[in-house]
């Protein structure tokens, strides 16, 4: 079974070589690699062309800059494989990643296969595991997504192609663009999901990640994602059963928004109302301790929240 691997890339010349080496070195060889260059202004395209000259499985698609969400959709439209996998240009795969995913799909007949992954912080790997409690049912699977038991990343998952062809196309920027796509797939389809326990993907945390952005439009897009997610849950009849989980989802998004200095986090009345409507009423039981702490600190004083966040990042650097 052919696997199409989509690599959205923007100014990724520092990382793209490592990424492509990890892909073309896979133990499973029936792949195509669609690198979609999102209007890079560095030597990303040049680097990719050097690889494609040596390996005809690599295809470079160049386009004007529209953001990662729209860029992924172009890759999905051009994919010729029966299954699709996403790999970000600054990340890389373990050598048996594709083989493990495709074997699991073929042996189970599942629609989506998810894998565990490593977060790389200051050069050190930290294992992150999915907690797939239920393998079928929209409500069960969306509960897993909203509760963060199933990661919201497109990367590190293998999808049957037809699932991704139904994703809404837009050039609007989203801070959590891959999460938006995952929500659409899991909420709109009756899926059978399986998992491989082996870590297959390496997610490199550095200053160029979207959650380090200062782009105001991206930061403010958090609220549009919340609204769209609510609309999807309502349309699928899932919201009444997932009110607590959805409120916790909004709270986790609010924490990231506050860390990034979003304008509404400085509006005391807005903070107070958000806390009342989401945290106190529904979400408290669904958040872990440090998330509860951040919710309360940022609600009390954003500047203290930023200080605590910087302090925790400093501690993380020391212990990692």
Residue pLDDT, tens place only, 185-227: 999 999 999 999 999 999 998 866 555 567 899 999 999 999 9
pLDDT of residue 284: 86
**165 versus 16: which is more confidently predicted?**
16
**What is the C-alpha to C-alpha distance for residues 262 and 271, in angstroms, rounded to an integer?**
12
pLDDT of residue 172: 86
pLDDT of residue 212: 58
Residue 276, CB half-sphere, CA atoms under 13 Å: how many? 6
> What pTM value is reported for the model?
0.92
**What is the C-alpha to C-alpha distance for residues 64 and 62, in angstroms, rounded to an integer?**
7
Residues 6+ apart with CB under 8 A from 22: 92, 93, 94, 95, 202
**What is the C-alpha to C-alpha distance for residues 258 and 265, in angstroms, rounded to an integer?**
5
Whether pLDDT at 313 is above 80? no
Strands 83-86 and 157-160: antiparallel
pLDDT in tens, 139-196: 999 999 999 999 999 999 999 999 999 899 998 888 999 999 999 999 999 999 999 9
pLDDT of residue 171: 87
In this prediction, residue 318 has a pLDDT band, given cuts at 50, 70 and 90, of low
Q: 3-class DSSP state for residue 209?
A: coil
All domains of the chain, ordered by start, with CATH? 3-206 (3.90.550.10), 219-319 (no CATH)
**69 alpha-carbon distance from chain centroid:** 11
Under 8 Å between Cβ of 155 and 88? yes
DSSP per-residue string spanning 21-62: HHHHT-S---EEEEEEEES-SSSHHHHHHHHHHH-TTEEEEE
pLDDT of residue 122: 83
The continuous run of DSSP H or E covering 17 comes out as helix 16-24
What burial letters (b/e) apply to 262-289, b meaning 16+ CB within 10 Å? Answer: bebbeeeeebeebbeebbeebbbebbee
pLDDT of residue 310: 83
pLDDT in tens, 240-257: 999 999 999 999 999 999
- For residues 125-152, give the mean pLDDT: 93
Under 8 Å between Cβ of 25 and 53? no
pLDDT in tens, 67-124: 999 999 999 999 999 999 999 999 999 999 999 999 999 999 999 999 999 999 888 8
Whether pLDDT at 8 is above 60? yes
pLDDT of residue 319: 59
């Amino acid at each position: 079974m052919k696997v199409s691997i989509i690599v959205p890339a923007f100014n990724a010349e520092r990382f793209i070589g490592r990424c492509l080496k990890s892909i073309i070195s896979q133990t499973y060889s029936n792949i195509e690699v669609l690198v979609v260059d999102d209007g890079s202004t560095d030597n990303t395209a040049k680097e990719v062309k050097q690889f494609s000259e040596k390996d005809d499985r690599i295809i470079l698609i160049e386009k004007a800059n529209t953001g990662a969400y729209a860029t992924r959709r172009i890759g999905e439209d051009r994919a010729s494989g029966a299954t699709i996998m996403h790999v970000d240009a600054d990340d890389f795969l373990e050598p048996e990643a594709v083989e493990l995913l495709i074997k699991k799909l073929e042996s189970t007949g599942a629609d989506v296969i998810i894998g565990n992954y490593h977060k790389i912080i200051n050069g050190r790997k930290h294992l992150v595991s999915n907690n797939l409690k239920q393998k079928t049912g929209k409500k069960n699977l969306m509960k897993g997504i909203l509760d963060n038991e199933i990661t919201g990343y497109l990367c590190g998952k293998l999808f049957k192609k037809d699932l991704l062809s139904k994703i809404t196309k837009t050039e609007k920027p989203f801070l959590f663009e891959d999460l938006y796509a995952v929500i659409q797939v899991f909420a709109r389809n009756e899926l059978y999901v399986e998992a491989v326990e082996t870590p297959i993907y390496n997610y490199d945390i550095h200053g160029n990640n979207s959650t380090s952005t200062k782009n105001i439009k991206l930061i403010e897009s958090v609220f549009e994602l919340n609204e769209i997610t609510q609309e999807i849950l309502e349309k699928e009849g899932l919201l009444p059963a997932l009110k607590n989980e959805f409120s916790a989802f909004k709270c986790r998004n609010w924490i990231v928004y506050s860390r990034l200095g979003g304008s509404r986090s400085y509006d005391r009345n807005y903070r107070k109302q958000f806390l009342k409507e989401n945290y106190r009423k529904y979400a408290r039981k669904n958040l872990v301790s440090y998330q509860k702490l951040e919710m309360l600190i940022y609600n009390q004083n954003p500047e203290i929240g930023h200080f605590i966040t910087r302090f925790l990042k400093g501690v993380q650097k020391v212990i990692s």
